[in-house]
Amino acid sequence: MKPTHNDPSNGNGYFKSKDIYLSSVLKIHDIPLVKVETLNGGRCLFVFQHTKNLDEIVAKFFNKELEVEPQALFDIWRSLKALMYSQTNNFR
């Protein structure tokens, strides 16, 4: 199976996602953001350190089983969005 951006099985200890909403949830759960990579077309890839609880958080995110404080989530989303735009110089 070819590794995808959301597949940590590539062995490098990182989890990568283009999804700003998932990335916001990871940040609110204190998963360390390592860097933001710029992709073709002005898109970004959020790179997180793969921690022991990351897989559980991702599964709960996709199964809609997470509870988070809405204002804190929005604040993190806004910060990631600003970081994403500063990385791509894509100011709309």
**C-alpha to C-alpha distance for 90 and 43, rounded to whole angstroms:** 9
pLDDT > 90? residue 50: yes
**pTM over cut 0.75:** yes
Return the number of other C-beta atoms located less than 10 Å from residue 21's C-beta. Answer: 12
DSSP string of 12-78, one letter each residue: SSEEEE--HHHHHHHHHTTPPEEEEEE-GGG-EEEEEE--TTHHHHHHHHHTT-----HHHHHHHHH
- The string of pLDDT tens digits covering residues 58-78 is 999 999 999 999 999 999 999
User: Is residue 57 very low, low, confident or very high in pLDDT (cuts 50, 70, 90)?
Assistant: very high
pLDDT digits (tens, 9 = 90+) for 14-44: 999 999 999 999 999 999 999 999 888 778 8
